[in-house]
Amino acid sequence: MPYSVQIDIERVIGADKVAMLSDDDNDGVADASVVAEAIDWGDRLINSYASGKYAVPFAPSTPAEIADRSAELAAYWLYRRRQNRDETVQK
């Protein structure tokens, strides 16, 4: 189970930014698969650091701090993905 969900990312950067950064089919709506990939990336990063000290994944309930970091990391991934994509198009 993921540590965060789309609405958590929207609380960090806003729903409009989530849609803009993940809308690969240009329909004005966030693409769920892209958002899920962002969350998965963040969760794997959290697990890689936390596994040295804690049992991961955090279950059955995710600490609020972990959910917050997951959303922040997913937002970062979305921004980086869009930046890399735009740089490729400009070349």
For the stretch 25-38, pLDDT in tens is 999 999 999 999 99
pTM of the model: 0.89
> Contact 82/35 with Cβ under 8 angstroms?
no
- AA letter at 14: G
43 has pLDDT over 80: yes
DSSP states along 61-78: S--HHHHHHHHHHHHHHH
Return the closest-CA partner of residue 77 out of 44, 39, 26: 39
Give one word for 28, left, alpha or beta, with left for phi > 0 and alpha for psi -120 to 50.
left
Distance CA 47, CA 54 (A): 9
